[in-house]
């Protein structure tokens, strides 16, 4: 997925660890545990796949196991339904344990609590989860403030049950369904809060299943997900019936260059967006996390120009934009500095203001004046460069 804040991913893993930047050269066949760039997009190849007994009992679990094995992963059949021994324990090399978790793919059954849906304002009426964790290495990743436990990517074997469970929520939305501007979208379901689902689609097939599920669901509903990957090949011919909006998470060139790792490049994401738009999907931009880096107007202008170029010549593109500024919490800062001790990401509380939530917590956001300046600039620039684009929100 996903990038920062509203409606997407990462957190709570406090081991010291260094990012493993993935190879992208197509002529080099990558080792397991890194990503492979192919015609199908950038594909993550985990070093090992773990499966619990209850996940192995389900057909979708065994299908994912076979896929991971075909990508070269070593198979580990667990004896317990709990993922054990993936974190650092006393005396263990924390760095090693952390890297081991990040290069592993686990197939489990989703926790019952996750099947009780929660709203995810301002993105969607409901969030649901087909997986948890992401193989990429973005130094600002919001999962750092929202998940706990070792950073192993877990995919859920009970996918049919998860999808069927969505039916009970149709017509019950309180976020986009209550918005005059967005109620036409129907009840909205966001699938990228805890993961980047396209980044693991070659292993899970979860998006293919979900897009088909929403396409055949005779109700005003919409599936939404956001991604920093580009492996859309298998999604292009699906019967989506316009009920899935895929957003590509993009950023200024220097932000992507300095702080993203293991993802598809912004240019590759825009090519994938063009392919999805040509296949008739509603598409979108998640511009996140927005940062006022030096020369930010020029950098974000270039980004918007690249988007316009990517979509040129396609009639009737349904394009939206979601604008999310950079933010962090004391907890996410601690985790991110543990993961990326040499990061140059601006995590200085002195340049921020506190934004409180209804649960008593807070995050550090940019102060009011720079926020207002950036917001006005983005709304103006998008209206000028992408006149048909609907901006859904700024946060």
The alpha-carbon radius of gyration of the chain (Å, integer) is 20
Nearer to ligand SF4, 78 or 335 (CB): 335
Longest Cα–Cα distance in the chain: 60
Look at the alpha carbons of 338, 198, 184, 320 in this order and tell me if their dihedral is positive or negative.
positive
**Secondary structure class of 156 (helix, strand, coil):** strand
Nearer to ligand SF4, 235 or 264 (CB): 264
Nearer to ligand SF4, 141 or 210 (CB): 141
Nearer to ligand SF4, 11 or 382 (CB): 11
Minimum CB–partner distance for residue 90 and ligand SF4 (Å): 28
Minimum CB–partner distance for residue 118 and ligand SF4 (Å): 18
**Separation CA 265–CA 250 (nearest Å):** 9
Minimum CB–partner distance for residue 143 and ligand SF4 (Å): 5
Q: Which residue from 204, 169, 209, 203 is spatially nearest to 189, judged by alpha carbons?
A: 169
Minimum CB–partner distance for residue 7 and ligand SF4 (Å): 12
Minimum CB–partner distance for residue 42 and ligand SF4 (Å): 11
Nearer to ligand SF4, 240 or 269 (CB): 269
Contacts of 39 (CB under 8 A, 6+ apart): 233
Is the CB of residue 69 less than 8 Å from the CB of residue 75? yes
Minimum CB–partner distance for residue 205 and ligand SF4 (Å): 19
**Separation CA 27–CA 36 (nearest Å):** 10
Nearer to ligand SF4, 182 or 228 (CB): 228
Nearer to ligand SF4, 108 or 264 (CB): 264
Is the CB of residue 228 less than 8 Å from the CB of residue 4? no
- HSE-CB at 90 with a 13 A cutoff on CA atoms is 0
Copy the structure tokens of residue 193.
């809060």
Q: By the criterion CB under 6 A, which residues form the site for ligand SF4?
A: 1-3, 9-10, 134, 136-138, 141, 143, 196, 228, 263
Nearer to ligand SF4, 1 or 210 (CB): 1
Nearer to ligand SF4, 263 or 332 (CB): 263
Minimum CB–partner distance for residue 263 and ligand SF4 (Å): 5
Minimum CB–partner distance for residue 248 and ligand SF4 (Å): 11
**Separation CA 105–CA 134 (nearest Å):** 10
DSSP 70: H
**Separation CA 202–CA 384 (nearest Å):** 37
**Separation CA 145–CA 96 (nearest Å):** 22
Q: Which residue from 34, 46, 97 is spatially nearest to 71, judged by alpha carbons?
A: 46
Task: Report the alpha-carbon angle 382-383-389, nearest 5.
Answer: 75
**Separation CA 14–CA 102 (nearest Å):** 13
Minimum CB–partner distance for residue 40 and ligand SF4 (Å): 18
Instruction: Mark 312-323 as b/e (b = at least 16 C-beta within 10 Å).
Output: eeeeebebbbbb
User: Can the peptide bond before residue 350 be classed as cis, meaning omega within 30 degrees of 0?
Assistant: no
Minimum CB–partner distance for residue 81 and ligand SF4 (Å): 25
Nearer to ligand SF4, 1 or 250 (CB): 1
């Amino acid at each position: 997925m996903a990038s920062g804040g509203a409606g997407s991913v990462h957190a709570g893993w406090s081991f010291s660890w260094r990012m493993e930047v993935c190879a992208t050269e197509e002529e080099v066949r990558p080792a397991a545990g890194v990503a492979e760039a192919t015609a199908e997009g950038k594909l993550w190849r985990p070093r090992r796949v773990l499966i619990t007994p209850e996940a192995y009992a389900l057909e979708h679990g065994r299908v994912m196991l076979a896929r991971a094995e075909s990508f070269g992963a070593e198979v580990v059949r667990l004896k317990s339904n709990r993922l054990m021994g993936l974190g650092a324990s006393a005396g263990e090399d924390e760095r090693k344990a952390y890297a081991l978790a990040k290069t592993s793919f686990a197939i489990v059954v989703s926790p019952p609590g996750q099947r009780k849906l929660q709203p995810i304002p301002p993105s969607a009426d409901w969030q649901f989860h087909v997986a948890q964790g992401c193989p990429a290495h973005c130094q600002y990743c919001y999962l750092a403030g929202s998940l706990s436990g070792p950073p192993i990517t877990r995919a859920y074997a009970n996918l049919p049950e998860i999808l069927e469970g969505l039916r009970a929520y149709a017509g019950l939305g309180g976020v986009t369904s209550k918005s005059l501007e967005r109620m036409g979208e129907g009840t909205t379901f966001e699938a990228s809060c805890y993961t980047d689902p396209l980044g693991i689609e070659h292993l899970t097939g979860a998006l293919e299943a979900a897009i088909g599920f929403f396409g055949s669901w005779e109700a005003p509903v919409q599936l939404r997900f956001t991604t920093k990957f580009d492996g859309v090949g298998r999604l292009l011919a699906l019967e989506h019936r316009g009920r899935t909006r895929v957003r590509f998470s993009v950023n200024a060139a220097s932000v992507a260059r300095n702080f993203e790792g293991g993802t598809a490049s912004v240019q590759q994401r825009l090519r994938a967006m063009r392919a999805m738009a040509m296949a008739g999907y509603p598409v979108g931009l998640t511009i996140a996390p927005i940062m006022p880096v030096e020369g930010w107007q020029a950098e974000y202008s270039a980004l918007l120009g690249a988007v316009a170029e990517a979509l040129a010549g396609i009639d009737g593109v349904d394009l939206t934009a979601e604008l999310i500024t950079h933010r962090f919490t004391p907890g996410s800062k601690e985790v991110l500095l543990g993961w990326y001790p040499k990061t140059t990401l601006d995590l200085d509380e002195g340049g921020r203001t506190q934004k409180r939530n209804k649960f008593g917590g807070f995050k550090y956001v940019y102060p009011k004046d720079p926020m207002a300046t950036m917001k006005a600039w983005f709304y103006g620039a998008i209206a000028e460069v992408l006149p048909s684009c609907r901006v859904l929100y700024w946060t």
